[in-house]
Amino acid sequence: MKNLINYYAAIFLPMICLILYLLNGLPSTVFAVLLLTYALIYRPWIDALRLLALGKISRKQMYLPFIPFWSLKYYSLLFFNRE
């Protein structure tokens, strides 16, 4: 996931879908569970895949983005392609 546009699509499209489902009658408890799944599982996984593709972490270090606030170390690289 070296392309920045693909990364943005991977992180924002699921969130947009969640909001649209919520507006169309998705129960709030289901929304809360899906939002937590996005924040605690999906998003760190996507960050790990991008850092792996950019060569900043190895496959053995893919667990690191699941540590709270660890990805802030690579914030500018993840979002702006700057080191």
Q: What is the pLDDT of residue 83?
A: 79
Q: Which domain holds residue 44?
A: 4-80
Dihedral pair phi/psi, residue 9, rounded to 5° = -65, -40
Question: Residue 65: pLDDT above 90?
Answer: yes
Identity of residue 14? P
Phi-psi region of 58 (alpha: psi -120 to 50; beta: other; left: phi over 0): beta
- Predicted confidence (pLDDT) per residue in 1-60, tens digit: 889 999 999 999 999 999 999 999 999 999 999 999 999 999 999 999 999 999 999 999
Q: How many domains does the chain have?
A: 1
pTM over 0.75: yes
Work out the pLDDT band at 82, boundaries 50, 70, 90.
Answer: confident
- Judge residue 31's burial from the number of C-beta atoms within 10 Å of its C-beta, 0-12 exposed, 13-18 middle, 19 or more buried: middle
**Does the structure show a pLDDT above 90 at 64?**
yes
Helices first, then strands: H and E counts in the chain: 4, 0
Q: Which residue has the tokens 């760190």?
A: 44
